[in-house]
Amino acid sequence: MQIYMNGKMVPKRDAKVSIFDHGLLYGDGVFEGIRAYNGRVFMLREHVDRLYRSARAITLKIPMSKQAMVNAVIRTCRENRTRNGYVRLVVTRGVGTLGLNPFTCKRPQVIIIAGTIQLYPKELYDKGMSIITVATVRNVAEAVNPNIKSLNYLNNILAKIEAINGGVPEAVMLNAQGFVAEATGDNIFIIKGNTLLTPPPYAGVLEGITRNVVMDLARQAGYDVREQMLTRYDVYNADELFLTGTAAEVVPVVTIDRRTIGDGKPGKITKDLERRFREFANSVGEPIF
């Protein structure tokens, strides 16, 4: 495996960062997870745009243009002969001192890894997933805005620990007001009748790339799509429930907090959107080869 590091391709064994990098010391940096399908990088420019928005929000100046970043991702995929896989794009604050001051870091580091990922087994897509809500509250926007996809994922990790301890692969986090926000790594949708409902960004949600694609595909298919504040009551009474994310794609949920959703099987609309998403993902994107 070849890793892109600051303009050079480096063998995996030689890909190292300094122990004084503020990305390691303080989680000071931003990242994106991106998929490659059928020899194309899916929604690459949208991911790069979001990366730069995250960086701007934390006053991190990425030392290359957006087009150069796009080219670097494609180059990394090409070097690793990635046709179907997962790309992790990371920008750290860079090497600095043992202190919080980010301005001691003179040059950010850009790291790109092209590999593979399988977040959930196929069985969960066929039969549906069980999830729970957890006590860990989603970061409030006034502290660390969830739309900043930062290297400090401790909020999500604490919720993930609760999910694992609860015997399920994923968990739903509420915001400080008690409304549904998102899962530890995915966005959440419920279906009532012919209507898709998902929390708006101001509920404490990362505005997911896959989330937005699914919303567009649903509208094109004739479904009613709305961003709306949701409570657990709304979720418990949903006809269908599913999660979306770069790694997860579209995954059905059949129980939450031991309450059965619908008839306890992946719903008709969920399966339709899962199919539409995969067809779309395999037909668009920036060509690698």
Q: What is the mean pLDDT of residues 143-170?
A: 96
Structure confidence by residue, pLDDT tens digits, 50-73: 999 999 999 999 999 999 999 999
To which residue do tokens 């745009």 refer? 49
Structure confidence by residue, pLDDT tens digits, 71-83: 999 999 999 999 9
pLDDT at 119: 78
Using N-to-C axis directions, what is the helix angle for 44-57 and 209-220, rounded to 10°? 130
Q: What is the dihedral of CA 272, 275, 281, 283, to 10 degrees?
A: -110
The single residue of 12, 127, 149, 160 carrying the catalytic annotation is 149
- Quote the tokens at residue 94: 């860079």
Report in angstroms the alpha-carbon separations of 179 from 49, 199, 228.
Answer: 28, 9, 10
Structural domains in the chain? 2-115 (3.30.470.10), 122-281 (3.20.10.10)
pLDDT at 117: 82
Report in angstroms the alpha-carbon separations of 120 from 209, 244, 250, 252, 273.
Answer: 19, 12, 11, 11, 18
Give CA–CA dist 41/284, Å, rounded.
8
Phi and psi for 47 in degrees, rounded to 5? Answer: -65, -45
Compute the mean pLDDT over every residue in the chain, rounded to the nearest whole number: 96
pLDDT band of 141, cuts 50, 70, 90? confident
Phi and psi for 34 in degrees, rounded to 5? Answer: -130, 145
Nearest to 114 by CA among 86, 75, 90: 86
Give CA–CA dist 229/152, Å, rounded.
26
pTM above 0.75, yes or no: yes
pLDDT band of 142, cuts 50, 70, 90? confident
Specify the long-range contacts of residues 99-107, CB closer than 8 Å, at least 24 apart: 100/26, 102/22, 102/28, 102/59, 102/60, 105/22, 105/28, 107/63
Q: Are 238 and 178 in contact (CB under 8 A)?
A: no
Percent of the chain beyond pLDDT 70? 100
Residues 125-138 as b or e (16 or more Cβ within 10 Å = b): beebbbbbbbebbb
- State in Å, rounded, how far the first CA of the chain is from the last one: 17
Q: Are 183 and 171 in contact (CB under 8 A)?
A: yes
268 is catalytic: no
pLDDT at 250: 97
pLDDT band of 118, cuts 50, 70, 90? confident
pLDDT at 194: 94
Residue spans of alpha helices (H) in the chain:
22-26, 44-57, 66-79, 122-127, 154-165, 209-220, 232-236, 268-281
Percent of the chain beyond pLDDT 90? 97
**Is residue 277 pLDDT above 90, yes or no?**
yes
